[in-house]
Structure formats: C-alpha cells, structure tokens
Amino acid sequence: MKKYIVSLWAMIALFSSTAVAQGATDVIVPKVDSGDTAWLIVATALVMLMTIPGLALFYGGLVRRKNVLNVLMQCIIITAVISIEWVVCGYSLSFGSSKGFLAPFIGNFDWAFLKGISMSDLSPYFISHSQATADGGTIGTIPHMVFIMFQCMFAVITPALIIGAFSERINFKGFLIFTLLWALFVYNPVAHWVWSGDGWLFKLGALDFAGGTVVHINAGIAAIVTALMLGKRRDYKGHALPPHNIPHVFIGAALLWFGWFGFNAGSGLAADGLAASAFLVTHLSAATAALVWALLDWFHGKKPTVVGVCTGAVGGLVAITPAAGFVDVTGAIVIGVVVSLVCFFMVAFVKVKLGYDDALDAFGVHGIGGIIGAILTGVLATPVVQSAYSGALYGNMHQLWVQLIAVFASIVYSGIGTVILFWITEKVIGVRATDKEEAVGLDETQHGETAYTNFD
C-alpha cells in the first residue's frame, strides 16, 4: 500500500511540475496583448491627428490668408510622402541593426519595404521605445506592424514642424525635395541613435521618452537653419505678422494637445501605469505652461492673448515629451514653468533683437522647448516613476551629462545636415519663392486655389 501511495505522490508531483512549467511557459512566451494593441492603434491615430489637421490648422491660422492653403498642402503632402518613405526604407534605417562601424549610427535595409515582416510578428521593442531592447529574446506585446505605424507618425510630424520657420516664402517643389532628403539623411539617423537598440546615444543611456531630441530638437534646429538660409519674408519688419484666423490657431492647438496624449502616453508601448503617468504629466505640463504664458502676456502686453496661451500650451507639450516617462507631477509643473519663461523670452525678445524670421516660432518653441525638456529630464527624472532611471536631483549627475551630450550631438548633426541638404536643393532646383509669388500669395501661385471667396 505504501508503494502505491509513493507512486501516486510521484505522479501528482510530476503532473504539478509539468503544469507549473507549462504555466511558466505561458507567462514567458510572448503573445499579442489585445489591450496594449488596441491602445497603440488609438495612440497612432492620435499622433496622426497632430499633423493633419492639428498642426495644419495651428500653423495655417497663424499665416496670412493668401498662404493658408499652402500650409495645409505642405502638412498633408508630408503625411503622404514620408509615410511611403518610411515603409520603403525609413523604418529599416531607423530601427534596423547594421553591422560593424555603421551599427551605432544607422540601420540597414533588411526591413526595406517591410521585407520579412508578417502580420503575426511581434514588435522587437518593448516598454518605452526609449529604453527598447531589440535583443531577439524579449519582445513586446503588440504586432510589429503596429509599432511600425506608430513610429511612422513620428517620422511624419517631425519635418512638418519645420514648416513653421520658412512659411510664406518657399516654393512647393523645393520644399518637397528638401523635406524628403531631410527625412532620409537627418531624421532616420538621429532616430537610430536614440531609439534603436544599437544606437550610440541609446547605449550611452540618453533618455528621450517620446521625441524631445529626435523630434523637437532635430526639427527646431533645422527650422532656424532653413529660416536663416532662405532669408526673411519681403515684408517682414522684425515682428510677428498678424495671424489671419485665430479660431483656427485655437482649434489646431486643442487638437495638438489632444493628440499629444497618444504621442507621449503611447510611447510606453503598453496600456499600463507608465502610460497613465505619462498621460497625467503631459497634461499638467501643458496646462502649467499655458497659464504661465498667459500671465507673461498679461504682464508684458497688458492683455492675455489666445495665440499666446495656445503657444504656451504647445511649449509645455514639447518640453514634457522627453521626460513624460521619467518625471512625476512636480517635475511636470517645473518643466511647464521653465519652458514658458524661456520660450517667451526667445519669441518676444531674442527673435526681435536678432531679427531672424522664424515665421511661426518653430525654433523658438520646438527647438528651445525640446532642448529645455531634454536637459530637465536629466535633472528631474525620478526613480518613483521608473526605478531604473534617475536624474541629477536624485544624485545621478551622470544622467545630466548624458542628456547634454545627446542635445549637443543632435544640434550639431541636424544643423550641419540641414545646411548641406538645403544648399543642394537650392543649387539643383531652387527653394525661394519669387518676389511676385510671395506678394500674390503661395495659395494662388503654387496651387492655383484660394481659401476664401467673396460672393457679391
């Protein structure tokens, strides 16, 4: 009888261990999580909403009525062209893994035309793509194609931000060629540096949760370079020209604010507590920056303005972008205050003093805001949000130095790359609109249309 009891116990133990092993296998075998996937699909749509119609209306309302369609056209054609470029080679160059000396700087063409990627493949990136590890062993919970599409929307909006610097004076042909070249040779390498598992800034430990360096510094530096190389608008007098439609500015800013929740909260690549934290601090930074800008407007210009509060909100969204997955609510408020103070000073005083024509303050808000956000990430990152990351305020001075290196590298590369590509485009096909085209307006001269018609 004892023999049978021992045998029965052994069978139960064997069955139990097999079940545990099977249970463990169920836990570690990667599979699609429907909640994460649904959230990332929504987040992707929200980021697309930021470009069209969000940025299109925001920038379109700020220009004069004779150029509004040109801005809308630039935004939608960027969405079309860069989406195709992304699938053809952009994604592979940004997130593919090269070999040898190229590996830290640019990807390869293994995923060109999304070769070898099927509907059943899972994303090789998990957690936040700013800490992603494409090690082939641990993969995410969303389909690879969803991650590709999510990142496509980042590739789309980055060159669209540059539009704000050269608005009202660039011909459409030159704009289109320059934008495509810039995406290929500037955006893709910087994205690889920071977000790819073998990028050199990623390995250095640079933190960029959702694009402060890759998107905003990159685009902001390109913006000031193109504004300087293109020259001022013919009738620019050293101060902002009145926007033609402030309600459009307001609607565009509101859509940007709304879409930014996908931009930042989606960058954790999961529907979890990190996404919730990023969602909260994104909103809080934007709200703080909007209020501070309104108060600065009130103090400096005697009246708070709609354009001012919209600009402040966008500045707060820009600056929180790299920090959204690393700072708490106190950090978000600090970032919102600092970015409004500095960007207001850049827009209201520095631009006027130096006289450069950054038409819609793409550099003053996105470039400077991105720099502030990236640096303050190195100061305010708290282990309360992600235990593996901390900034100078929590005793990790090294992180601040890494952030400064990432900021400097992005500024230098984007600046030099933009100069070269813009010069090539100018020499080959030309980029500046003629005096007549600029006077008549780019809507009629570049597209043969007008936004508003007066009926008798």
- Taking the C-alpha atoms of residue 196 and residue 134, their distance in angstroms, rounded to an integer, is 8
> pLDDT tens string for the chain (456 positions)?
333 333 333 333 333 433 334 444 444 456 888 999 999 999 999 999 999 999 999 999 999 999 999 999 999 999 999 999 999 999 999 999 888 888 999 999 999 999 999 998 888 865 444 444 444 334 578 999 999 999 999 999 999 999 999 999 999 999 999 999 999 999 999 999 999 989 999 999 999 999 999 999 999 999 999 999 999 999 888 777 899 999 999 999 999 999 999 999 999 999 999 999 999 999 999 999 999 999 999 999 899 999 999 999 999 999 999 999 999 999 999 999 999 999 999 999 999 999 999 999 999 999 999 999 999 999 999 999 999 999 999 999 999 999 999 999 999 999 999 999 999 999 999 999 999 999 999 999 999 999 998 654
Domains of the chain: 32-447 (1.10.3430.10)
Tokens 């836990």 belong to which residue?
Answer: 27
Question: How many Å apart are CA 204 and CA 215, to the nearest integer?
Answer: 19
Q: Which two tokens stand for residue 413?
A: 């590369």
| Alpha carbon distance 253, 90 (integer Å) | 28
Check residue 363 and give its pLDDT. 97
Q: How far is CA 106 from CA 85, 100, 114, 183, 192, in A?
A: 16, 11, 17, 13, 6
Instruction: Write down the pLDDT at residue 238.
Output: 76
How confident is the model at residue 455, as a pLDDT?
55
- 3-class SS at 189? helix
C-alpha separations of 336 from 44, 207, 311, 371 in Å = 25, 19, 12, 13
* Amino acid 30: pLDDT: 65
Predicted local distance difference test score (pLDDT) of residue 11: 37
pLDDT reported for residue 29: 54
Residue with tokens 């011909």: 171
User: What is the number of H-type helices and E-type strands within the chain?
Assistant: 19, 0
Angle at which helix 218-230 crosses helix 368-380, to 10 degrees, equals 160
For 331-360, give one letter per residue: b (16+ CB within 10 A) or e.
Answer: bbbbbbbbbbbbbbebbbeebeeeebbbbb
Is the whole model's pTM more than 0.85, yes or no? Answer: yes
Closest CA to 219 of 415, 420, 45, 59: 415
